[in-house]
Structure 1
Amino acid sequence: MNIPHRERARAFLAEAEMLNPGPWVQHSLFVAQAAEAIAEAHPHLDAETGYILGILHDIGRRAGVTNLRHIIDGYTFLHALGFEDAAQISMTHSFPVRDIRVVNGQWDCSPEELQFIEAYLAQVEFSTYDRLLQLCDALALPSGFCLIEKRLVDVALRHGVHEHTLARWRGYFAVQAELEAAIGASIYSLLPGVIENTFAPMQVDPKTM
């Protein structure tokens, strides 16, 4: 795959943290750990690739405190460096359903950028890595791993819900079922601390993550 090696990906994240520190950085580290663990158990995925894609999935947040435009900011950053597979993950990780209406948050990009995202999603072929990162994004808080349901409520408390929210949630559970069928086990069996973190008090941080 066309992605940077682990050390360079970590350097990108460290640089991004200096530009825009926030809970999204710890979230990215936990997403990377989850993707690595699940990929290790998957017959057709590479654990190192999963980790690197997890580190970079939210790299668009390097551009500052934004909402959904981090999707295209991350894509633009990685695409310019020639890391097309990582750029794809930046674009697809928020879409368990291939529909721009399902996202939670505000589209704070230009009409032309939104049009580009919509066209990109319509033509791109989702790989198992796309599915993996969609799932891992939905089970990692800045404090650690949790049940998908807790993460979905966390996002809903910060960004609200709308008429397409249930379709989005069903999309995540479909991805979970698909990956669990492939690994022959519950994803949660691979995630240390998931029980404790799930039942820890909910902490709602209004800063985008």
Structure 2
Amino acid sequence: MIRLNCTTAESALTWAGQQNPGNWTEHSRFVALACKNIAAQCNDMSADQAYCFGLLHDIGRYAGVSSERHLIDGYRFCMERGWEKAAQICISHAFMIQDIHTSIGTFDVTEEDFQFMKHFIKEAVYDDYDRLVQLCDALALPTGFCILEKRFVDVTIRYGVHPHTVDRWKKVLEIKADFEKKMKGSIYDLLPGVIENSL
């Protein structure tokens, strides 16, 4: 087992980016920083843990260009190292609604993996770390932080409109409201350059 901390998470992402270079690594770094900044304002959360989970949420992309396969690849990568919560978030970050059929991606996985993921998503117990990464995934472009609506449009242009697109947006906005209530302020105040990068 490799102990998960900021150093090991950063090393893992650096290695993963070398295996499959792309904008996803910079996106992951901004997600991680958003997670860290928001968690630091929440009394019951660890900023360092949140940072690690943000860095690793897309780690499955190390295996090459894929759609939903990166979720299960990331899960396995983290489980092999004993990082169980990070492994869960590799899958849960894409399912703010706990139903595999709300996916906006393509299931480029085996039937066995699909059934595993379907059961895993349905039975997973989400906590604030799952929800925080779901939120911060929608706050970060590879070029920096952005308002949620900009990211919503960015993803929809790339993936198209799906039956659950609006429901997913509503869920992310609900998570945003929950965190702002918890920290008694706006999340955007914690994201340097968010307005400039959203224009």
Secondary structure of 1:91's match?
A: helix
Question: What is the aligned partner in structure 1 of residue 102 from structure 2?
Answer: 102
What is the distance in 2 between the residues matched to 1:193 and 1:113? 39
> Could you tell me which residue of structure 2 aligns to residue 146 of structure 1?
146
- 1:103 Cα deviation from its structure 2 partner: 2.0
1:99 deviates by 1.3
Distance in 2 (CA, whole Å) between partners of 1:47 and 1:64 is 29
Give the structure-1-normalised TM-score.
Answer: 0.92
> Given the superposition, is the C-alpha separation of residues 74 and 195 from structure 1 closer, same or farther in structure 2, using an over 3 Å criterion?
same
Distance 1:102 1:169 in 2: 12
Matched, 1:176 2:187: no
The 8 Å contact of residues 3 and 85 in structure 1, kept in 2 or not, is answered as: no
Give the structure 2 partner of residue 73 of structure 1: 73
Q: Deviations over 1:62-115 (max 9, x none)?
A: 000111110110001111111101101111011111111222221111111111
SS of the counterpart of 2:106? Answer: coil
Structure 2 SS opposite 1:192: coil
Q: Which residue of 1 is the match for residue 38 of structure 2?
A: 38
Give, in whole Å, the separation in 2 of the partners of 1:152 and 1:96.
Answer: 14
**Count of aligned pairs:** 198
Percent of aligned pairs sharing the same letter: 46
Distance change >3 Å, CA 34–CA 3, structure 1 → 2: farther
Q: Describe how 1:1-209 pairs up with structure 2 within 5 A.
A: 4-199=4-199
**Deviation for aligned residue 1:175:** 0.7
TM-score, normalisation: structure 2: 0.97
- Supply the RMSD in Å over aligned alpha carbons: 1.1
Per-residue deviation at 1:148?
0.6
TM-aligned CA deviation for residue 183 of structure 1: 0.5
Segment drifting more, 186-195 vs 100-109: 100-109
Q: Name stretches of at least 5 consecutive residues in structure 1 with no aligned partner.
A: 200-209
Give, in angstroms, the shift of residue 3 of structure 1: 6.0
Tell me the secondary structure at the aligned position of residue 41 of structure 1: coil
Equivalent position amino acid for 1:23 in 2: N
User: Quick one: distance in 2 between partners of 1:172 and 1:103?
Assistant: 14
Deviation string, structure 1 residues 163-207 (Cα, Å, up to 9, x no partner): 1111111111111111111011111011000000000xxxxxxxx
Tell me which amino acid in the other structure corresponds to 2:188. Y
- CA–CA distance in structure 1, aligned partners of residues 112 and 75 of structure 2: 15
1:17 partner amino acid: G
Residue ranges of structure 2 left out of the alignment (5+ in a row)? none
AA aligned opposite 2:32: A
Between 2-11 and 103-112, report the one with greater CA deviation. 2-11
